[in-house]
Structure 1
């Protein structure tokens, strides 16, 4: 289609549309639709004036959309990402964080950040915006993310200014408990007490939040024992959901720690290597 043909089509479409809109507002009963312009009569074949008007409107809408040229997106001059000498986050660890952010065993999020920090790795760059947005509701998380993300926060805020907004900290308000769970003084006694709750039928779903904290704080060497002991328990309807949840949590945490240990073994040794699992 030449420029002249396109211009004629645009003028014809505008004129046809103006007449259709006027008739639609007033109503075809009070004001019949004007005769279609040249080239538009093929869509006015219905004997019912209202139906013919709708058919013509449909044809004009299609012509207007087909002839529209999308506007070019605005060009944003984005500076290059800041240089970061730390190792990229290992892919298994990044996938694990993505699962945590999706709601799978969120109680382990603080521990994930602790091991990432001790490994000396970057945060997964693709997840930093999600972490910053979530941190607006949790000052403790926001502090950890901004510390580990380093210059990437300022860089991202150039494009998404809302990422540069920190949550307002209220004096005396809880920080969301953004520290790994405290380790029980006696891991064996903690596991035995937890199994006892199941045997007594007291480990209902209402007790699950407290039991999750116990599993999240145990010395990692006790996690296989948790899986074995809870798997041996007989089925009980009132505690089965809690039992399945804790077994999955223990297995999830064990896998997370193995991923960080494998990353340590495969990459350069960090200065605080002895702190890693």
Structure 2
């Protein structure tokens, strides 16, 4: 059965009122791939009904970023949602989400100014603002976000806790190509040679994870060795960051225990991120 497609707030409110039982929600910016679909299937297992939003949010793109060229493939996305068992698609225009230029927005705080936030100032302010708006409009019982965007997931969990938003936030595992490249809507920007360079991100994470029992310095050294070779490739990888951080706060981590190794870089004009969870030091 095809999902119901709504585009206005009134249409969404009417469709939401018809939902019986629990509702799981997967917010997206469209250009859907298997990573998104895995979240939808997870949502299907988590609740009686599934809603998806498709909206390219201008607030989370900085000057010179790829808002205008971000892929918009609504017809294909709707077909993919139908195949994943989605019941409801909310596909608003910019005017529906922002009838007026917003005067009150969320501030992501210190956690939004580090790692990805340092590379993309203001990004998390815009992301949290639209996610809160969507949660208020859709009113789901559970919302599912991909673990590939680890800092985004951590910040949404913090927002929900700090602002007492009545929703359960769940992470969905990163989906990868057979060669390890994390699925991303931006992968379609890559040339064949650029895709080869981009593989250094996942390979660096793998190398770092394999060195985890030897401590933080060994992790960074192993990952940096892979990234250094990619910096000399054609086209080169321009590194934005390589960090070991706490999964909940994204504060730096150096002592033994759980951590996230996060990396981001640019191949040409394409910004790509990836991460892996690991255990620093030898387990006793």
* Fold shared by both chains (TM-score > 0.5): no
- Higher-Rg structure is 1
Greater strand content: 2
Normalised by the length of structure 1, the TM-score is 0.23
Normalised by the length of structure 2, the TM-score is 0.23
